[in-house]
Structure 1
């Protein structure tokens, strides 16, 4: 049959309510009424594991008639669709007046013509229409053809509604991540400043002649501070919103980074982690941030599956990596309760979740599936009740340009260098002292300022060869200091080194991407400071 025009559908949505199956049925029945001349019709529609039973009428219905139509429609649908629907709750019947509505009372019909509504190969609804006399073959064919067309239209509406929900959830998730990014940005800045002091002064102490006991203790201080800095760095990586950027990466390294974020939670829940990582695992081209998001989601799911109810709950998460000629494979095997075949079939469906309300959106694995698919790989799970779950990720080995890697090392002894006047600008006294200490060891004449305004005043009174400045400071930050130097055509603008503990803030990233100056991310190594100073002085 021919469906109502888009204008009619648009008019029906004027109230701002989303257009759904009931609206569609109302418009179709009004178009069909002149031909079939029925007094009333009813429908049963399955939505979110409940029954919606609208009653469409051309006249007045008493409460008794309405309830009778409602009960009979449900009974007929259960007989048609199966006994499973007996336990489903039902909304109170909604009486909907058709455009041919009049004041005459409508009695409960003696007979109906029922037609199933089939969506996705399953009976998910039923339309029934009152008939005063049996339909002719032509009328019956038209009626069932209409029901078939309505089924297809409902399927399209469900798909659109699902897509709309997915977009809305992703927008909400994006907003949440934006808020998390702002929070992490502030926290990272506050943590990176003291970590820079701890790691920097530990490096300075390691340059001295120390007895073995003192050296080991200082090395422990440095190692623990470095571990904390890696956690902050990983948090910044997850909070950063950026376009996908593929680069050569080793999945073993990405796994270890994610575990650094979850080690504490796994430990307090008595979950042991067993790693079987192939040391010869080849690199492949991936977006490291996206793949870490997938790995984190799988590890958290495994952790929640093994969480248990009591304090004695425990489990084991085994993570294996391997490779064949064409692919890198990673497996995550937990000792949780496992999943049924039905649950396993739906785990990548949008909004499907077995978690308690508020514990998840049901989008984590859906997004993970999309990320792996975009990388040309595949992700799947193997499970069964009582035997745990194994998630497997397979990614193609794609060669890319190798990026140089810097090996960690102790600060190198100072090389002979010409003495220069250097201005250190930072509102943290510990950072001032640290940079003053390492630069004076190299023979430089070091002066300090607490903000950009104070630095400009000093630059106006005395000459300097180089400025090292923090990005965020009270009164005036590093970017404004740089702009003032540039506006005044001061050659020092080319010899500014920026230091920052916040690489997430959009305004910071935008500024740093627009300048051709060196940047040191806190906490930095003293070797990096020396190399950056030498390079800047050579400009």
Structure 2
């Protein structure tokens, strides 16, 4: 027998398609536990917290949102942004958020992590905050891995030399540096220098993917300088018109309060999702009746009176659309119940679902404020319709 290692197998088109499908399935399935985590964090935030706890909650929310956005971006790179991605965010907010995510790790390593953001950036938005977050995450992760002592500094500013303003962010460290002979391979996949390989494990894909991502949105990632004293990378990305005032957007949000005593049927085949929704309803003073699928929901509606139904769209055995049709065919008042659909689909067809008879469609992860507003509106509309019909 030969001791020559077998060369890596290059998958054929069918195998590649199967691998792609498996990855898509995994990414889609990840949205369920991530959504549950996001909801749990928001429920914790409804109760009084210390300043330290509130800061930890913000960090968790940002980390979960970043993961959710990445799953959507990878599953549908050309699709519409997620609802959370539409939240007004300045370039300064995005940079601060990423730096905050790495602050705890820096402290445990005995490193100082500073973030210096020019005041004029507060007035600008970033066209693709998710891409900025991913690029900065790569740079900060590398800086932490290859810096044994000293500090890491993130410096951000707006430049106005071109046709439109640009964002420039420097990430500087006091780490091991990059030998000149290895710099030509910095942005190539699976390429790692001897000094880097000896210092920390890695795949050699981070800088390559970050550089490709920057180029894809009209920007550039470059090595500015490197020596035995440390390394500095700069990412340059286009800025957009002044961002909306986040405080104004928050002011227009739902005013969560205790609803009049109501009972809501929660239909979802995932127990974690049911329990998360039940916990949110409890915070509103609403009782939850739980059903693990369409048939269970119909059975419960035959025995118990409820004021509204929260119905998962994608369920095995009996889908949300099939369950809705069956509810509308029930005798008596149950047929007219407000039914709110909940979906984890990457690009849900809201118009089609609403035309099918749903009162509203909510995207997972459902925040307490969004759920409250939808329920309040649905039950108010139902009461008005009932009054009109008398």
Q: Same fold (TM over 0.5)?
A: yes
Contact 2:153 2:172 (C-alpha < 8 Å) held by counterparts: yes
- Aligned position for 1:315: 150
- Aligned position for 1:292: 133
Within the alignment, does 1:485 sit opposite 2:324 as a pair?
A: yes
CA shift in 2, pair 1:439/1:297, >3 Å: same
Within the alignment, does 1:185 sit opposite 2:5 as a pair?
A: no
Kindly state the Cα deviation for residue 435 of structure 1 after the two structures are TM-superposed. 0.6
Contact 2:223 2:234 (C-alpha < 8 Å) held by counterparts: yes
CA shift in 2, pair 1:351/1:528, >3 Å: closer
Kindly state the Cα deviation for residue 332 of structure 1 after the two structures are TM-superposed. 0.7
Hey, what's the Cα distance between the residues in 2 that align with 1:197 and 1:471? 23
Contact 2:91 2:126 (C-alpha < 8 Å) held by counterparts: no
Hey, what's the Cα distance between the residues in 2 that align with 1:492 and 1:223? 45
Within the alignment, does 1:233 sit opposite 2:43 as a pair?
A: no
Instruction: Output aligned runs, 1:389-428, within 5 Å.
Output: 389-399=231-241, 406-407=249-250, 412=255, 414=257, 422-425=264-267, 427=271, 428=274
CA shift in 2, pair 1:434/1:285, >3 Å: closer
Question: Alpha-carbon deviations, 1:300-329, whole Å to 9, x = none?
Answer: 2212221xxxxxx32311001111222221
Coordinate RMSD, CA, aligned: 4.4
Within the alignment, does 1:269 sit opposite 2:109 as a pair?
A: yes
Question: Alpha-carbon deviations, 1:434-488, whole Å to 9, x = none?
Answer: 4145144xxxxx4512323332223345554421245688x87xx8244321356
- Aligned position for 1:432: 278
Hey, what's the Cα distance between the residues in 1 that align with 2:22 and 2:176? 31
Between stretches 184-193 and 316-325, larger displacement belongs to 184-193
- Aligned position for 2:3: none
Contact 1:378 1:393 (C-alpha < 8 Å) held by counterparts: yes
- Aligned position for 2:346: 509
- Match of 1:319, SS state, is strand
Kindly state the Cα deviation for residue 243 of structure 1 after the two structures are TM-superposed. 1.5
Hey, what's the Cα distance between the residues in 1 that align with 2:233 and 2:69? 24
Kindly state the Cα deviation for residue 352 of structure 1 after the two structures are TM-superposed. 2.7
Q: How many residues matched?
A: 338
- Aligned position for 2:291: 450
Kindly state the Cα deviation for residue 420 of structure 1 after the two structures are TM-superposed. 6.1
CA shift in 2, pair 1:172/1:420, >3 Å: closer
Contact 2:111 2:151 (C-alpha < 8 Å) held by counterparts: yes
Kindly state the Cα deviation for residue 183 of structure 1 after the two structures are TM-superposed. 7.0
Hey, what's the Cα distance between the residues in 2 that align with 1:512 and 1:266? 43
Structure 1 segments unaligned to the other structure (5+ residues): 1-163, 203-214, 307-312, 441-445
CA shift in 2, pair 1:409/1:333, >3 Å: farther
Contact 1:188 1:236 (C-alpha < 8 Å) held by counterparts: yes
CA shift in 2, pair 1:459/1:251, >3 Å: same
Hey, what's the Cα distance between the residues in 1 that align with 2:18 and 2:110? 33
CA shift in 2, pair 1:471/1:422, >3 Å: same
- Aligned position for 1:304: 145
Contact 2:96 2:115 (C-alpha < 8 Å) held by counterparts: no
CA shift in 2, pair 1:330/1:384, >3 Å: closer
Hey, what's the Cα distance between the residues in 2 that align with 1:396 and 1:257? 19
- Match of 2:197, SS state, is coil
- Which has the higher Rg, Structure 1 or Structure 2? 1
Contact 1:331 1:392 (C-alpha < 8 Å) held by counterparts: yes
Q: 2:181 aligns with which of 328, 331, 342?
A: 342
- Match of 1:367, SS state, is helix
- Aligned position for 2:159: 324
Hey, what's the Cα distance between the residues in 2 that align with 1:429 and 1:195? 14
- Match of 1:509, SS state, is coil
Instruction: Output aligned runs, 1:491-530, within 5 Å.
Output: 495-498=338-341, 503=344, 508-509=345-346, 515-516=353-354, 517-519=360-362, 521-522=364-365, 524-525=367-368, 527-530=369-372
- Aligned position for 1:278: 118
Higher relative CO (Cα under 8 Å, sequence separation at least 6) belongs to: 2
Contact 1:369 1:378 (C-alpha < 8 Å) held by counterparts: yes
Hey, what's the Cα distance between the residues in 2 that align with 1:363 and 1:471? 37
Hey, what's the Cα distance between the residues in 2 that align with 1:221 and 1:401? 28
Kindly state the Cα deviation for residue 188 of structure 1 after the two structures are TM-superposed. 1.9
